[in-house]
Structure 1
């Protein structure tokens, strides 16, 4: 399945799209961090927060139209045009990077977020149409692995690029090259015509109401959105957590990101084996329980972290060579594993459960809620850390414990989910 024309070109396209988004976004943030105040159109803190908001905003503004478009057009045709748009935007971004036009780069970040918002619904709605029913869970596992590894490689790659000589030129060539390769790969995706002759376009409110009426779909979307809420908290706080709580240099942030991302990849493939290659909602319970238990263990691992002897910070090798730190790192890896086990069945379920003619619009509703939950995670972190004076470990512990509350809400509101777990538990 993986190397078939039905899947592999699409996999390359979606991986390179996520990689390019993260390289461009992180290159921009690193350029801003090292720029002199006189070069920037606004204060650094405002610029960084505005950049984050501008990338997420298109998912709220355009997901409804993106879902309608993906349901009414040939999905391969739509992907190819979106890749042409990406190449155009990245060509403009290359010029902006080389000329250090920060305001232009900010506008282009919003436009890249818009391109990603239109790619999101077709990205997941394509799978049930291109793959056999028995391949759907495996396909979703590969997509999750590719997405998180692309995020990781984009984040790390931006750091490598910006530490090299001629960083602007290298960054410009990289973003255009990845867009071009993605465009070429998109030409090999086989045609995937719309399932129906066309659907009436719905606004955001209509899409949400339509999903709300399909209770099991709505519950699954809420469960997926919680995953992105928790993941956003972890990924956003890792840099300060490393500096303040782990007494380590920024190099350790890359290790934390790698453990979390690779863990999700391992968990995604584990879910395929545990589900016997079928859509299995029963795995959501052990996934959520693991997120809670290993999240608490990750927090408890701080008990074994002591400041380094003398002043300064742990170098990466020093931190990793200290055996008492391994429990904390292993716990974070297992948080990622349990996240993969938790998320793959949920994505597979909404793809299989949604009506074929409206599948992309259901994915669009999911993207809208994901974006809202990620914004809410940022608001919660600001309120608890800045206004109430919480520490980052206290925030992490709250997120870990809230997994139990989410699980209770999930299974108290949906008989379908409860029965799925019972059937899985007893092997029926």
Structure 2
């Protein structure tokens, strides 16, 4: 795991050294093409980096399933070295078109790496280690973003920064390649797979694969929406600091630090609160935080600019009436992002079949890329129509609420898991022993005594996988809550003397769920227990 971890860390680190160096050249040194404004140029550069994900992710997913994943990683890291040589030439000659070509190629590099990045984890880790592994990868990725962003800004701002930055990105690429040599061998999943090089038909095919399981597809939509918000915020930060907050590059660095550390903190907290399992109940917590703290950025307004008209330092910015508030909002919305994404990534890894996992993740990357490109275009449109930065934050907050309601309507499991998690971790502080005895894969039946009417929520919270509960049909048909039971995939049952048809349908459904590898929970007593024993 660790050689892979450090390899992906170097890749994310180098991406952000390069991207942020270009961003500073555009925002602070007015590099542009064809009279495009700096704000629109920053958004355009973000779109250029993301475009290869949309065009080539499907082909990358096929490659990740056909070839040995470690060998593919080493090929991609060697490609990165060549791309960074092109980037160095662009920096030295201050050639923005060449830098944008290199940026597009770095997007291609990340596109090829993406399906391997998440599909390799189940090969390197046990099922009960996946949530921890994903938390570490997310934390490492955003720490790499943090350090890369800081280094990119600082290097390009130095005397002779073009040469220094160009040299740095090549050195980082070489280190990443050398580390990748230590990743252990993994046998290809489907070596006989024929790669379709037509990006259109392959993309359609892979998106069709992701749609086969609704919960996986809607989880992909959730991750993609996070990146819609994330790319908008990251694109805004440089120009928001300079033009609205009247702050120096050091405040840009501060915000990037807060954003990256926040994602890492959120990811680690998610792992701790999930107890080494995929806890979908934390996803609504994350989406609520994203809306809340983005909305507060709208409410915070604009700190007072220095009377001298100079751009503010970090200390001067934090001394303004709303400086600390804005900084806290940036940190807490990124913590919420960690809560939002880690369970969704782990959910996709666990629910997708091994033979198609890389292509499912490629489908996720295609969807992410589409949402990122749309985000860049959407942001450019808001600039065109003269939306202020607080108004943009308000729009993002409202859109996030709308999307959250839509997703949770389609996948009630998120809210139901949130209810179970809240009940057993906040209200009752449930302590679970023996959880390690429950298999992470394959069908099994939980048979337990029936103490209270919230037993289902208690079991749901303690079980590492979603269970199908068997319930007496009269409870199942109760007004107002029947819809919740249906959304939870509860199986209604009746006694042979009550309704033989319902009873037979229940046993058929139980058999079908077990055949599909699901977990079924039954209460053999059929009513609340009298003495609490089995």
TM-score, normalized by length of structure 2? 0.73
Sort the Cα spacing of 1:292 and 1:33 in 2 relative to 1 into closer, same or farther, 3 A: closer
Match for 1:178 among 166, 172, 181?
172
CA deviation profile, 1:178-218 (whole Å, cap 9, x unmatched): 01110110000001222344445461011111211210011
Within a 5 Å distance, the mapping from 1:186-205 to structure 2 comes to 186-201=180-195, 203-205=202-204
Q: In 2, distance between residues paired with 1:251 and 1:125?
A: 37
Q: Which residue is equivalent to 1:12?
A: 6
Sort the Cα spacing of 1:293 and 1:423 in 2 relative to 1 into closer, same or farther, 3 A: same
Rg larger in structure: 2
Q: Note if contact 2:135-2:268 (Cα within 8 Å) is conserved in structure 1.
A: yes
Match for 2:142 among 145, 148, 165?
148
Instruction: Measure how far apart 1:148 and its partner are.
Output: 1.8
Within a 5 Å distance, the mapping from 1:54-73 to structure 2 comes to 54-73=48-67
Q: In 2, distance between residues paired with 1:324 and 1:43?
A: 34
Q: In 1, distance between residues paired with 2:162 and 2:306?
A: 36
Q: Which residue is equivalent to 1:119?
A: 113
Q: Which residue is equivalent to 1:243?
A: 242
Sort the Cα spacing of 1:239 and 1:373 in 2 relative to 1 into closer, same or farther, 3 A: same
Sort the Cα spacing of 1:327 and 1:101 in 2 relative to 1 into closer, same or farther, 3 A: closer
Q: In 2, distance between residues paired with 1:312 and 1:53?
A: 31
* Structure 1 outlier segments of 4+, above 6 Å: 33-37
Q: Which residue is equivalent to 2:360?
A: 362
Q: Note if contact 1:64-1:365 (Cα within 8 Å) is conserved in structure 2.
A: yes
Q: Note if contact 2:290-2:333 (Cα within 8 Å) is conserved in structure 1.
A: yes
Instruction: Measure how far apart 1:98 and its partner are.
Output: 3.0
Which stretch shifts more, 165-174 or 124-133? Answer: 165-174
Instruction: Measure how far apart 1:33 and its partner are.
Output: 6.2
Q: In 2, distance between residues paired with 1:25 and 1:359?
A: 29
1:162 maps onto 2:156 in alignment: yes
Q: In 2, distance between residues paired with 1:332 and 1:101?
A: 33
Count, aligned residues? 418
Q: In 2, distance between residues paired with 1:256 and 1:33?
A: 16
Q: In 2, distance between residues paired with 1:397 and 1:68?
A: 40
Instruction: Measure how far apart 1:144 and its partner are.
Output: 1.3
Q: Note if contact 2:47-2:376 (Cα within 8 Å) is conserved in structure 1.
A: no
Q: Which residue is equivalent to 2:414?
A: 417
Q: In 1, distance between residues paired with 2:380 and 2:176?
A: 37
Q: Note if contact 1:32-1:44 (Cα within 8 Å) is conserved in structure 2.
A: no
Within a 5 Å distance, the mapping from 1:28-427 to structure 2 comes to 28-31=22-25, 42-43=34-35, 45=37, 51-201=45-195, 203-302=202-301, 305-309=303-307, 311-322=309-320, 324-387=322-385, 389-427=386-424
Sort the Cα spacing of 1:264 and 1:50 in 2 relative to 1 into closer, same or farther, 3 A: closer
Q: CA RMSD in A?
A: 2.4
Q: Which runs of 5+ in 2 are unaligned?
A: 197-201, 425-460, 462-534
Instruction: Measure how far apart 1:220 and its partner are.
Output: 0.2
Q: Note if contact 2:250-2:314 (Cα within 8 Å) is conserved in structure 1.
A: yes
Q: In 2, distance between residues paired with 1:48 and 1:161?
A: 19
Which stretch shifts more, 352-361 or 394-403? Answer: 394-403
Q: Note if contact 2:43-2:377 (Cα within 8 Å) is conserved in structure 1.
A: no
Match for 1:22 among 2, 13, 16?
16
CA deviation profile, 1:243-264 (whole Å, cap 9, x unmatched): 3443333321211121111111
Instruction: Measure how far apart 1:88 and its partner are.
Output: 2.2
Q: In 2, distance between residues paired with 1:331 and 1:30?
A: 23
Instruction: Measure how far apart 1:99 and its partner are.
Output: 4.0
Sort the Cα spacing of 1:339 and 1:329 in 2 relative to 1 into closer, same or farther, 3 A: same
Q: In 2, distance between residues paired with 1:426 and 1:112?
A: 46
Sort the Cα spacing of 1:205 and 1:179 in 2 relative to 1 into closer, same or farther, 3 A: same
Q: In 2, distance between residues paired with 1:150 and 1:122?
A: 18
Q: Note if contact 1:199-1:357 (Cα within 8 Å) is conserved in structure 2.
A: no
Q: In 2, distance between residues paired with 1:102 and 1:313?
A: 26
Highest relative contact order (Cα 8 Å, sep 6+), 1 or 2?
Answer: 1
